[in-house]
Amino acid sequence: MGLGILASRAIRPASRLLQSHNSSFFLRTIVSKPELQSPEAAAVSQPEPPNQILPPRSPVGGARVHFSNPEDAIEVFVDGYAVKVPKGFTVLQACEVAGVDIPRFCYHSRLSIAGNCRMCLVEVEKSPKPVASCAMPALPGMKIKTDTPIAKKAREGVMEFLLMNHPLDCPICDQGGECDLQDQSMAFGSDRGRFTEMKRSVVDKNLGPLVKTVMTRCIQCTRCVRFASEVAGVQDLGMLGRGSGEEIGTYVEKLMTSELSGNVIDICPVGALTSKPFAFKARNWELKGTETIDVSDAVGSNIRVDSRGPEVMRIIPRLNEDINEEWISDKTRFSYDGLKRQRLSDPMIRDSDGRFKAVSWRDALAVVGDIIHQVKSDEIVGIAGQLSDAESMMVLKDFVNRMGSDNVWCEGTAVGVDADLRYSYLMNTSISGLEKADLFLLVGTQPRVEAAMVNARICKTVRASNAKVAYIGPPADFNYDCKHLGTGTDTLKEIAEGRHTFCSALKNAKNPAIIVGAGIFNRSDKDAILSAVESISQANNVVREDWNGLNFLLLYAAQAAALDLGLVQQSAKALESAKFVYLMGADDVDVDKIPKDAFVVYQGHHGDKAVYRANVILPATAFTEKEGTYENTEGYTQQTVPAVPTVGDARDDWKIVRALSEVSGVKLPYNSIEGVRSRIKSVAPNLVHTDEREPAAFGPSLKPECKETMSNTPFQPAVENFYMTNSITRASKIMAQCSAVLLKK
Amino acid sequence: MSAPFTLRKIGVPPNSANLTEARRRVFDFFRAACRSLPTVMDIYNLQDVVAPSQLRFAISAQIRNNAHITDPKVIDLLLFKGMEELTDIVDHAKQRHHIIGQYVVGEGLVQNTGSKDQGKSDFLKNFYTSNYF
């Protein structure tokens, strides 16, 4: 006090000297109060200003909170901010709702809680030590503090421990740039460590040609162990040993053969499990990510294609709760290197000596336009392939129809497939709706190889609610418990007539789901099988107002859109009596059935099987290079986005057919993609509404009675080799390695 | 007003006032080019490759390509560029393969007369060029 008065006395004469109106800018009398000068006064903490208005907060990542029971909501306080959370939420989830992102390594929202990394420690009032927020349930009235010195010290300590035995591999580790450990140590760790001993190292495990392991980098978070046992359904991985000698491994020399094994690469927070084909190829900051759709199966998983220049470097899953959650199958993830091999890049015409000669587009289209006028209209056949998008199929159908022929279909749908009613070829319970089922009957389908994401969803349902699964078909191994009822149609007949023991289980199920595989469509007795399935569904109340459990699992990405647009095979003899065959990416066509004197035009992006029979080759773009509409097996329409530029002189599929129509004299009335889309809108408007699922409008009650009987041939597997199903995967070296090494013999 | 063209001119001639003057300048340019043709054939040894009439045809075809233009200023600019090109050729600033590739119809230059492209639509023309349109 005295000093202050002395100071002000000393300043006052000077202020008289300055005497300017802005003396207040130069001089400021230092004023002191008695409370501020005594030490006891300083120790008293400032009282909280009452009723502080905090700015509103939104949940992390724009997430929405689902209250399954609104009366059961609890109120907790996160950093002074009150949030309402549902009853079973953990402290970490409550903080996420409040907009606070808590660092974690072992916690993953889709896996069970482990609580062993201790990075998520937060301070809770009235608790002696910081609590692991991922494991602690939020209790009403809890006051959670995430930015106090205790919480920060805890995070620094945990980070220091984790980095103690972690090797200095950042320059050679593939995870650099997208590593959780790097990011969290920068954000929450201390700047220096105190470890001066020798670091431990761990021997690497061989998990197959897809997952590269450097187990020294492992921080033992056990995310991969939990993923393999819960989501993938295989108990391959486990934690061996204790303490600092802990190792993640398979204990026996076993490869990870699961079709979801690539997802552990995304899950692992450090560089212990990385992608072997992508090893040392690129850093994540030099890649351009394009959000697009996968076409290797009928599921339409959402992916992000990372490309560097004209080359696709890797494929990463995107979140889509309805279809693939956060996972993709190995085929989707690793078949991208097939896009670089066996590519068709120039139009070619077969010479008189049988060899192909590269020509210009003018000549190629002129030749095709000439020949097409020399055949009769019903000898023209157009076949769309399994990777064709809706636009190109629409233009092909229009062109073939204008030439006077009705023979245009998509491969995989044999004669007589009924495309009138959409329920008869779609997955009517949507893929996310399968979670509510409590009984599954799989008829002639192996979802593990046909649609790995549907299988993952069934596995999730079985695990969560103990649903029962039974299947009719060839014996196969599933990654969940299921009963094998039979291999052929006799079992189906018995269930339809009510004689089988399984019928009681069907009757008692609240939400039964029947999944029929699209391999059935190729059988001659498919009508009988479908009517048997429909009688089962009628007898057991499978199709009701609120629940439609009758599902069809399609095999190819183009099938649903093809059936929506009306590309069905009208006559069985169309191919045998054809003189002009237009194959638009169709490789699964039986080439021997095409007559020897027929003129075959192959339009596609890979030189696969059917190319060798072709007379003219027209190069087209692959799914990573074009913008196309695809409909998945549940009726969800999505669009691919071009990620890399076109290869060579290739053109988009629909543009080639449109140009051919003009050269042939039957010019189609549209010349832009919007025009094609408005044409599609008049045929199948659901294909224009992207990112929307259009359920089937009518149920089985409209179908007429079927008089045929089922044949005795047992159900055959529709997919022989999971890793080689389309032209891209057959051209891929990684898929070849996988099928040589990972398939169960 | 109508200063005759010489190959070595000093300064930039003033803009043509109207279309007739521009037209006269075009013809003057063509005459100057044709008069320099024997020198060109001599410099680049084109005696066995091409006849002067063929070279004249090539020059006139290029002029005829722009026959539809009506703006005198645009014609002046095109003439300026043509003059520049002619000066380069006469100064031996180009080489034989340039002349053959750019002006000798048949051996170097594939003349597209435009007859087969006239009946096609824009879509087809763009389709033949590239995939991005």
Please say if the pLDDT value at position A43 is more than 80: no
Note which residues in 193-252 of chain A have CB less than 8 A from chain B: none
Residues 621-650 of A with CB under 8 A from B: 621, 646, 650
Q: How confident is the model at residue A713 (pLDDT cuts 50, 70, 90)?
A: confident
Q: Do A362 and B128 touch (CB under 8 A)?
A: yes
Q: Taking residues B93-120, what's their average pLDDT?
A: 76
A residues 325-344 near B, CB within 8 Å? none
CA distance A309 to chain B (A): 17
pLDDT at A20 over 50: no
pLDDT score at A18: 47
Strand partners, A78: A81, A144
Per-residue pLDDT reduced to its tens digit, A507-544: 898 999 999 999 888 888 888 888 888 888 888 888 88
Strand partners, A145: A123
**What distance in Å separates the CA atoms of residue A2 and residue A671, rounded to the nearest whole number?**
91
The pLDDT score that the predictor gives to residue A609 is: 86
Confidence of residue B3 (pLDDT cuts 50, 70, 90): very low
For chain B, what percent of residues have pLDDT higher than 90?
63
Interface mutation vs chain B, best among A671, A672, A676, most B CBs within 10 Å:
A671
Question: HEC states along B35-75?
Answer: HHHHHHHHHHCCCCCCCHHHHHHHHHHHHHHCCCCCCHHHH
Confidence of residue A70 (pLDDT cuts 50, 70, 90): confident
Say yes or no to pLDDT of A706 above 80: no
Residue range A584-606: mean pLDDT, rounded: 92
Report the complex ipTM.
0.82
Mean residue pLDDT across chain B: 85
- The answer to whether the Cβ–Cβ distance between A659 and B124 falls below 8 Å is yes
**What is the distance between the alpha carbons of residues A224 and A265, in angstroms, rounded to a whole number?**
9
pLDDT, tens only, A601-619: 999 999 888 999 999 999 9
Q: Which of A35-49, A244-258, A685-699 has the lowest mean pLDDT?
A: A35-49
Give the C-alpha separation, A104 to A608, whole Å.
47
3-state secondary structure of B76: helix
- A655 contacts: CB under 8 Å, gap ≥ 6: B127, B131
Q: Is the dihedral of CA B30, B31, B36, B41 positive or negative?
A: positive
Residue A413 confidence (pLDDT): 82
Higher pLDDT, A76 or A704: A76
To the nearest whole Å, the CA of B120 is away from the closest chain A CA by 9
One-letter amino acid of A450: E
Distance of residue B108 Cα from the nearest chain A Cα, in angstroms: 20
Q: Do residues A582 and A400 touch, judged by C-beta distance below 8 A?
A: yes
For residue A348, what are the β-bridge partners?
A358, A617
Give me chain A's average pLDDT, please: 90
If you average pLDDT over residues A192-202, what whole number do you get?
Answer: 93
pLDDT band at B5 (very low <50, low <70, confident <90, very high): low
Q: What is the pLDDT of residue B2?
A: 42
pLDDT tens by residue, A370-422: 999 999 988 999 999 999 999 999 999 999 999 999 999 998 887 878 888 89
Residue of B nearest to A625 (CA): B131
A-B CB pairs within 8 A amount to 27
User: Which residue from A478, A460, A110, A60 is spatially nearest to A267, judged by alpha carbons?
Assistant: A110
Q: Which residues of B touch A667 (CB under 8 A)?
A: 121
Q: Is B11 on the interface with A (CB under 8 A)?
A: no
Residue A531's nearest CA partner among A489, A563, A562 is A489
Interchain contact, B123 vs A659, CB within 8 Å: yes
Beta-ladder partners of A427? A551
Residue A16 reports pLDDT greater than 80: no
d(CA A638, CA A632): 8
Q: Average of pLDDT values for B7-18?
A: 72
Q: Is A651 in the B-facing interface, judged by CB distances under 8 Å? A: yes
Interface probe for B, chosen from A345, A662, A664 (most Cβ of B below 10 Å), is A662
pLDDT of A732 above 80: yes
Query: Given this model, what pLDDT does residue B1 score?
Result: 43
Would you call B121 and A671 a contact, using CB atoms and an 8 Å cutoff?
Answer: yes
User: Measured between alpha carbons, how far is A317 from A296 in angstroms, rounded to an integer?
Assistant: 14
Strand partners, A515: A442, A551
User: Can you tell me whether residue A58 is helix, strand or coil?
Assistant: coil
Q: Is A321 exposed, middle or buried (0-12, 13-18, 19+ CB in 10 A)?
A: exposed
Q: What is the DSSP letter of A294?
A: -
Q: What local confidence, expressed as pLDDT, does residue A738 receive? A: 94
Tens digits of residue pLDDT in A101-154: 999 999 999 999 999 999 999 999 989 999 999 999 999 999 999 999 999 999
Residues 6+ apart with CB under 8 A from A395: A653, A654, A657, A658, A661, A668, A676
Of A323, A191, A331, residue with least CA distance to A260? A331
Query: How far apart, in whole angstroms, are the C-alpha atoms of residue A142 and residue A98?
Result: 13
The pLDDT tens digits of the residues spanning A287-335 come to 999 999 999 999 999 999 999 999 999 999 999 999 999 999 999 999 9
d(CA A102, CA A637): 36
Query: Would you call B124 and A650 a contact, using CB atoms and an 8 Å cutoff?
Result: no
Taking the C-alpha atoms of residue A49 and residue A344, their distance in angstroms, rounded to an integer, is: 72
Per-residue pLDDT reduced to its tens digit, A254-290: 999 999 999 999 999 999 999 999 999 999 999 999 9
pLDDT at A226 over 80: yes
Q: For the segment A541-579, what is each residue's pLDDT rounded down to a tens digit?
A: 888 888 999 999 999 999 999 999 999 998 888 889 999
Confidence of residue B118 (pLDDT cuts 50, 70, 90): low
Contact of B115 with chain A, judged by CB distance below 8 Å, is answered with no
A402: closest CA of chain B, how far (Å) = 19
C-beta separation of A673 from A654 below 8 A = yes
